[in-house]
Amino acid sequence: MMIELKPHTDRFAFIERLKWMGLEALVVGEHRLIIVRGVDKNVHLERFIALPEVAAVLPVKEKFKLASKAVKGQTIIQIKGKTIGGSELFIIAGPCSIESKEQMDFCAELAHAQGAGGLRGGAFKPRTSPYEFQGMGEEGLKILRDAGAKYNLVTVSEVMDASQIDMVASYVDILQVGARNMHNFSLLKELGRVKNPILLKRGFAASYQDLLLAAEYIISAGNPNVILCERGIRTFETHTRNTLDLNAVPALKELTHLPILVDPSHGTGRRSMVLPMARASIAAGADGLAVEVHPNPDRALTDAAQTIGPEAFAVMMREVRKIHSCLEA
């Protein structure tokens, strides 16, 4: 059960009272919310509502509490004049890996011209093989920051390890947690203490509950600005790199108030499938997309097979905007 306290309540004194009532309580995040454990099903909620410090009692059935739809209608993140989770689409575009200033300047100009609000680029790459390109590191982040600044774009890059958080956060607006790190609980907890929103990608063998509990780690550690990203899961199908699970969009919309983006690039692994799955993602109700785009996709150092070029990106932007405008707000 969750209790929302009235403003200016002394949370710790209230928790002492609950202890005295034989209950265990937990303060979560920076909120006025506390989790109460040990409440017997037969205990009437009125008993808590009657306490003078209590604003509301929220019976949350799910294991994830702060991420649950039961506590909030919708999280809307405002950043650099853009909104994520509101009525606008939020599109993040850019290469898998940052490779050069020219490449990032090109992508930033393209993203801006086509109306995308976010610029992505990996500087620390979680490669399956240690012999593959590992990313440009901090030098790449400076390129990303400068390219994004020219067009007031929201910059996004992956942080792979807790030791990198402060450095990456000093260059980029949104910190990405990759699919391979969704279960890295020490990283998730540390991300709770930063101000930057977190783009949390679904692990390729993670259930919706696993994803939402990963989000719960970040929120309960103090950072409420988590954006979920469906990026495909492993199935028995080998034709595609992953199976883009678009069930995730309406399912997560029912379970959580957090914004949900879809990544049709990693979700398919195939350039020809990015556009149709981008369209389908928006039709399913996603708040936006994260798409790999490169000035010359065949020459991309990483993930070339799933990376689209500038013309395809322009078509994608036009079509997803049309689909979005057909949907009721």
> Residues in the site for ligand PEP, rule: CB under 6 A?
96, 122, 126, 178-180, 201, 231, 266
Between 180 and 183, CB nearer to ligand PEP? 180
- In DSSP terms, 119 is beta-bridged to 93, 155
Between 15 and 96, CB nearer to ligand PEP? 96
Query: Which of the choices ligand PEP, Mn ion, none does residue 276 contact, using the CB cut-off of 5 to 8 A by kind?
Result: none
Query: Which of the choices Mn ion, ligand PEP, none does residue 201 contact, using the CB cut-off of 5 to 8 A by kind?
Result: ligand PEP
Part in contact with Mn ion (CB under 5 A); list of ranges 60-68, 93-101, 164-172, 255-263: 93-101
Part in contact with Mn ion (CB under 5 A); list of ranges 15-23, 47-55, 224-232, 298-306: 298-306
What DSSP state is assigned to residue 299?
Answer: G
Count, residues near Mn ion per rule CB under 5 A: 2
Tell me how far, at minimum, the Cβ of 231 lies from Mn ion, in Å.
9
Instruction: Please give the Cα distance from 214 to 189 (Å, whole number).
Output: 9
Find, among 227, 167, 177, 222, the residue nearest to 203 by Cα: 177
Query: Which of the choices Mn ion, ligand PEP, none does residue 189 contact, using the CB cut-off of 5 to 8 A by kind?
Result: none
Between 140 and 178, CB nearer to ligand PEP? 178
Tell me how far, at minimum, the Cβ of 19 lies from ligand PEP, in Å.
42
CA angle 101, 81, 312 (to 5 degrees): 50
Between 231 and 294, CB nearer to ligand PEP? 231
Between 190 and 230, CB nearer to ligand PEP? 230
Tell me how far, at minimum, the Cβ of 292 lies from ligand PEP, in Å.
7
Query: Which of the choices ligand PEP, Mn ion, none does residue 179 contact, using the CB cut-off of 5 to 8 A by kind?
Result: ligand PEP
Query: Which of the choices Mn ion, ligand PEP, none does residue 231 contact, using the CB cut-off of 5 to 8 A by kind?
Result: ligand PEP
Tell me how far, at minimum, the Cβ of 122 lies from ligand PEP, in Å.
5
Query: Which of the choices Mn ion, ligand PEP, none does residue 294 contact, using the CB cut-off of 5 to 8 A by kind?
Result: none
Query: Which of the choices ligand PEP, Mn ion, none does residue 190 contact, using the CB cut-off of 5 to 8 A by kind?
Result: none
Tell me how far, at minimum, the Cβ of 174 lies from Mn ion, in Å.
16
| Rounded alpha-carbon distances, angstroms, from residue 286 to 68, 127, 177 | 17, 27, 19
The answer to whether the CB of 258 falls within 8 A of the CB of 67 is yes
Between 213 and 229, CB nearer to ligand PEP? 229
Burial grade of 238 (CB within 10 A; 0-12, 13-18, 19 or more): exposed
According to CB under 5 A, which one of 158, 190, 245, 303 is a site residue for Mn ion?
Answer: 303
| Rounded alpha-carbon distances, angstroms, from residue 105 to 85, 101, 295, 302 | 27, 6, 10, 18
Between 96 and 293, CB nearer to Mn ion? 96
Return contacts of 232-238, CB within 8 angstroms, 24+ apart.
232/204, 232/263, 232/266, 232/267, 232/268, 232/269, 233/202, 233/204, 233/205, 233/206, 234/204, 234/205
Contacts of 172 (CB under 8 A, 6+ apart): 141, 144, 145, 148, 155, 156, 157, 196
Query: Which of the choices Mn ion, ligand PEP, none does residue 227 contact, using the CB cut-off of 5 to 8 A by kind?
Result: none
Between 253 and 266, CB nearer to ligand PEP? 266
96 is an interface residue for Mn ion by CB under 5 A: yes
Take residue 303 and report the two structure tokens written for it: 């993930």
State CA 175 to chain mean position distance.
Answer: 9
Secondary structure (DSSP) of 102-152: HHHHHHHHHHHHTT--EEE-BSS---SSTTS----THHHHHHHHHHHHHTT
Helix axes 310-326 and 271-283, enclosed angle (nearest 10): 20
* Residues near Mn ion (CB under 5 A): 96, 303
